[in-house]
């Protein structure tokens, strides 16, 4: 669990001794590519931290297609936070894009952890603050950018995702069809030749 300790230490000070206590609240497990971590209409009872691999969160749209709304690679947290907070059924699925090593913490254990180590509140406050700030930039981007700009901006500014995530999932995440992404990639390639 040294990855989690390293990530905590980017925001708060944690001694080795404290971490020996902190890690008891987590479970470590592996998921295979395409395996689901939660199911639609289940209440999210866990928060997931990606040690290795890549997850995505999606819903099934009216056409019956998976529509991605979030990716999570190493050191990212992912869950349906509203479902977790309000004990309501989730509208999302979480699935492994690659084989993954994950740390999970139950809602109950997270409450106990925060009661024992209030400074971990600071860690979560800061990472949620950054993610919330970024979400408004994402909304701005969705309103502002053309469909082609969405794609080329994403692969330029998020190479860590673009290099490992299949094109059809990136297309879905950006609200585009795989056919459209294929078309603009071909056009861009032909311009370069």
Q: Which is nearer to a copy of itself, 99 or 109 (CB)?
A: 109
Contact window for a copy of itself (CB under 8 A) among 32-40, 56-64, 95-103, 161-169? 56-64
Please state, in angstroms and rounded to a whole number, the distance separating the CA atoms of residues 140 and 132: 13
Contact window for a copy of itself (CB under 8 A) among 95-103, 137-145, 150-158, 162-170? 137-145
Site for a copy of itself in 166-185 (CB under 8 A): 175
Q: Which is nearer to a copy of itself, 137 or 189 (CB)?
A: 137
Query: Per rule CB under 8 A, is residue 111 in the interface with a copy of itself?
Result: no
Look up residue 192 and give its two tokens: 């370069």
Q: Which residues form the interface with a copy of itself (CB under 8 A)? A: 57, 59, 61-62, 67, 69-70, 80-85, 91-92, 114, 118-119, 121-122, 124-126, 128-140, 142-144, 175
């Amino acid at each position: 669990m040294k990855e989690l300790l390293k990530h905590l230490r980017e925001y708060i000070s944690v001694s080795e001794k404290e971490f020996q206590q902190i890690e008891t609240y987590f479970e470590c497990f592996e998921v295979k590519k395409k395996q689901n971590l939660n199911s639609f209409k289940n209440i999210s009872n866990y928060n997931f931290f990606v040690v290795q691999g890549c997850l995505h969160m999606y819903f099934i749209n009216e056409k019956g297609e998976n529509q991605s709304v979030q990716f999570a690679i190493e050191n990212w947290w992912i869950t349906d936070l509203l479902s977790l907070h309000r004990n309501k059924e989730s509208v999302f699925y979480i699935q492994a894009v690659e084989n993954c090593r994950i740390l999970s913490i139950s809602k109950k254990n997270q409450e106990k952890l925060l009661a024992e180590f209030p400074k971990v509140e600071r860690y979560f406050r800061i990472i949620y603050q950054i993610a919330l700030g970024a979400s408004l930039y994402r909304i701005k981007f969705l309103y502002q950018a053309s469909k082609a700009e969405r794609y080329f901006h994403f692969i330029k500014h998020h190479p860590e995702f673009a290099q490992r995530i299949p094109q059809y999932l990136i297309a879905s995440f950006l609200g585009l069809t795989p056919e459209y992404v294929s078309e603009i990639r071909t056009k861009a390639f032909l311009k370069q030749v």
